[in-house]
Structure 1
Amino acid sequence: MKRSVKIIIGVVVLIIIARLLLPFIVLRYVNKVLADMGDYTGHIDDVDIWLIRGAYQIDNLNIRKVNGKVKEPFLYIPKTDLSVEWQSLFKGRLVGEIEAYDPELNFSFSENEEASQTGKEVDWTEVVRELLPIEINRFAAYNGDIELVNLFSATNTGLTLKNMDMEIRNIRNVEDKNAKLPSPVTASADVPGWGGTMNFNADMNLLKQVPDFNYNLKLDNLQLVKLNKVVRSYANLDFEAGTVSVVSEMAMTDGKMQGYFKPLTKNMKIFKWKEGEKRTVGRFFTELLAEGASEILENQKKDQIATRVPISGTVESAGTETWPILIGVLQNAYVEAFRAEFDHTLSVKETIEKYREARKEKREERKAERKERREERKEARQQKREERKKEREKRRKEGKGLGLFK
């Protein structure tokens, strides 16, 4: 056997051995990375490697908080695929992408550190960098579940998102170097605990320490009765029927943010003379007054109450003003009903200008309607005069024929 043939056979054997040993090496390495993350620790069950595709798959990733009281893991992903993003490689950039299938993420909010589980103690970008030592340009999650336990601490009420699909693209801005917000983000989910759906889309710049963004968020057809636990605590009333949808736009540049929330209720009912549970006198009158106010401020044609809550400020301090909210309520009730759509306006000034324009358009419409009614009445009077004139002329001719007029 020739020496060259022996060398080739030896190289092939080494490659086969390396390929067989590589999953065990990677498995050990990944578990070593995950084992010590400060307040969190993790583990995976298995690794599958595809050298030709430049990818490897992690099975049953499980991350939990050390010495925490929360039973559920912080993160569990049955299957995670980490690979080279070939589309970007053809553009001259070596970057990676991560796809997570059926992930479960469990947050818990509490002043008690042991009962809190938010992941803020760990630099997760560093963990990802160690698992995939190239820059990540795309992240996607399919059919995920997110639990926000004790989100409203005063009532121990949480929020659950089910069947979530999410994608973040062009994180490293491979496609357009001049784009101010180069990374599109999309997400959708069901909100089963509140009986509605969530849709989110945004353009972001994730390369900045404090990311810039411009987002649209819509929570649709949340059941008001399912919010009663929260509402009772903060407003001392509850709902008997109805739905609420929330539309929001928000933009942030260099830490300064501006936007709005637009809640719209449909078929809302607050007061009921007889309730199954014991109701305090205070809540009775609170609900009675709230029901009366809702009737006054309701847009009767649409059977809805709505307003627009402008938000402005910085990351550290954001707030709103009262009078634009009141103007929004009045506009919905007496000028033009809001729609569960995005306004594509963000500032308070734009809100007021839009309100004024709507009032002006409404006045013009009423003016045109009055003018049209006047024209119709004028035409009707003219027609009646013509009819009376014809009737007199007819009687005159008939009288002349009988010799009454000479």
Structure 2
Amino acid sequence: MNLQAHQVKTFAKWLGLSLIVLTVILYILAPFIIKHYLNYRVLNDMGAYSGHVDDVDLGLIDGEYLLKDLIIKRDHPHNPVDFFTVKTFAIALSWEGLRNGEILTRVKLTKPELTFLDAKQEEDKQTGEGTNWLSVFEEILPVTLHKLVIHDGIIRFQNLDTTPTVNIAVEDIDAELTNLTNVKDASGRRVASATLTGQLFGDSPLSAKADFDPFDFNDFQFAADAKNVRINRLNDFSRAYANIDFKSGHGQIFFELSAHNRELDGYLKPLFEDVNIASWSQDVEQQGDNPLQLLWEAGWGLLSAIFTNLESNKLGTQIDISGSLEDTDISSWQAVVGVVHNAFIDALHSRYENITPLTSEPETDTQKTEEQNESPGDKLK
């Protein structure tokens, strides 16, 4: 009996030791296995795009695995610009989910950069089309995502075929998406939320927020605004696409959009003041523009002066957005009508129109100051 007990004890000891050794071996090999799987089974063939991850780390204690230097690029482009890069892609178990008996994960992206390309040739454009990104994400993250955090991100729009080349970016992006798998509310929806802050053109604060159903994008609410936008930061874009540039001007942009049963309702409202297009020193002395180009810009400058509201000193418009997710109606003529309406009929206000609950908040000190500074004519309108 003592012999049998000793044998059982010895077996249990060796079994425990073997399990420890096996766990250590798996811990050492797991990063290499995951890296090989991602690089040769997931990222190697994604339709129009392919990718590569440089390194994988695995943490047993916090249940986290870390993808380092992930790069995704379009296959065989004329302009070899990476579509998506991220310094670290951290995936960890959500302790909040575990407390509720669910296996959920949280993801944190550090220094992600997403680049869209416009180009003369259709095959050189980089829009993200040509790959089932949901399928790729499910391969990288085989369990349910609960929370997504983005730190120090960048979104770029470039056109390398124009003269000058175009490079517009939203930088210093910090974003958080939460409740991605929460239960349905009283109306039968799963309401996730997202918040984002960043810098447009390097020094213009941008903020955005949204409510949406992560399993049904037929219904959502979105609002965004950019403050202290210096319009001359758009010069490369405006020269490339409209053959004009700006000497000065600053303002704000407001955007609200909601969808209910796939039907859209929203608007885009840019408001600028002190807009100056033609400049002898900038256009002739520095850029060497010919007289026809200077005349073209002077004409646009005259129009901007005519259509600037005399009381608010702002050139602006409001473009309504309607239709459906499949067929959105945005009229360029409406933009012109909005400019005329702002100039001669009713000055637009530098604030949200509050068509979504996201913007139905108490007035800020800035808004109160604006209203106090409005002329009596504005308040009577």
Instruction: Name the TM-score, length of structure 1 as normaliser.
Output: 0.74
Identity fraction in percent:
27
Confirm or deny that 1:309 pairs with 2:316.
no
The structure with the larger Rg is 1
For the Cα contact (< 8 Å) 2:246–2:277, is it kept in 1? yes
Displacement of 1:41: 2.0
Q: Distance between the aligned counterparts of 1:324 and 1:74, measured in 2?
A: 34
Displacement of 1:181: 6.1
Question: Which residue is 1:68 aligned to?
Answer: 77
Question: Which residue is 1:135 aligned to?
Answer: 144
For the Cα contact (< 8 Å) 2:219–2:259, is it kept in 1? yes
* Distance of aligned partners of 1:8 and 1:295 in 2 relative to their CA distance in 1, 3 Å threshold: closer
Displacement of 1:227: 2.4
Secondary structure at the counterpart of residue 44 of structure 1? strand
| 1:3-402 alignment runs, 5 A limit | 3=10, 4-32=12-40, 33-110=42-119, 112-150=121-159, 157-174=166-183, 176=185, 178=187, 180=189, 182-192=191-201, 196-208=204-216, 210-232=217-239, 237-272=244-279, 275-276=283-284, 277-281=288-292, 284=295, 287-288=298-299, 290-320=300-330, 329=339, 332-333=342-343, 337-345=347-355
Displacement of 1:250: 0.8
Q: Distance between the aligned counterparts of 1:66 and 1:322, measured in 2?
A: 35
Displacement of 1:236: 5.6
For the Cα contact (< 8 Å) 1:164–1:189, is it kept in 2? yes
Q: Distance between the aligned counterparts of 1:236 and 1:15, measured in 2?
A: 64
* Distance of aligned partners of 1:178 and 1:151 in 2 relative to their CA distance in 1, 3 Å threshold: farther
Displacement of 1:293: 4.6
Question: Which residue is 1:359 aligned to?
Answer: none
Displacement of 1:17: 2.4
Displacement of 1:332: 4.4
For the Cα contact (< 8 Å) 1:35–1:42, is it kept in 2? yes
Paired residue type of 2:100: K
For the Cα contact (< 8 Å) 2:91–2:108, is it kept in 1? yes
For the Cα contact (< 8 Å) 2:114–2:155, is it kept in 1? yes
Q: Distance between the aligned counterparts of 1:10 and 1:51, measured in 2?
A: 18
* Distance of aligned partners of 1:95 and 1:320 in 2 relative to their CA distance in 1, 3 Å threshold: same
Displacement of 1:335: 6.8
Secondary structure at the counterpart of residue 43 of structure 2? helix
Is there any run of 5+ residues in structure 2 with no aligned partner, and where?
1-5, 357-375
RMSD of the alignment, in Å? 3.3
Displacement of 1:157: 2.7
Displacement of 1:179: 5.9
| Worse-matched range after superposition: 227-236 or 254-263 | 227-236
Paired residue type of 2:179: N
Instruction: Name the TM-score, length of structure 2 as normaliser.
Output: 0.79
Residue correspondences, number = 350
Secondary structure at the counterpart of residue 233 of structure 2? helix
Q: Deviations over 1:150-172 (max 9, x none)?
A: 29979753421211112222222
Question: Which residue is 1:373 aligned to?
Answer: none
Higher relative contact order (CA 8 A, sep 6+): 2
For the Cα contact (< 8 Å) 2:152–2:174, is it kept in 1? yes
Q: Distance between the aligned counterparts of 1:86 and 1:141, measured in 2?
A: 19
Displacement of 1:94: 2.0
Paired residue type of 1:311: I
Q: Distance between the aligned counterparts of 1:170 and 1:333, measured in 2?
A: 44
Paired residue type of 2:47: G
Q: Distance between the aligned counterparts of 2:157 and 2:227, measured in 1?
A: 19
Is there any run of 5+ residues in structure 1 with no aligned partner, and where?
347-361, 368-406
Paired residue type of 1:278: D
Question: Which residue is 1:398 aligned to?
Answer: none
Displacement of 1:108: 1.6
Q: Distance between the aligned counterparts of 2:246 and 2:380, measured in 1?
A: 36
* Distance of aligned partners of 1:178 and 1:293 in 2 relative to their CA distance in 1, 3 Å threshold: same
Paired residue type of 2:147: R
Secondary structure at the counterpart of residue 74 of structure 1? strand
| Worse-matched range after superposition: 320-329 or 5-14 | 320-329
* Distance of aligned partners of 1:202 and 1:39 in 2 relative to their CA distance in 1, 3 Å threshold: same
Secondary structure at the counterpart of residue 92 of structure 1? coil
More strand by share: 2
Q: Distance between the aligned counterparts of 1:89 and 1:151, measured in 2?
A: 48
* Distance of aligned partners of 1:120 and 1:237 in 2 relative to their CA distance in 1, 3 Å threshold: closer
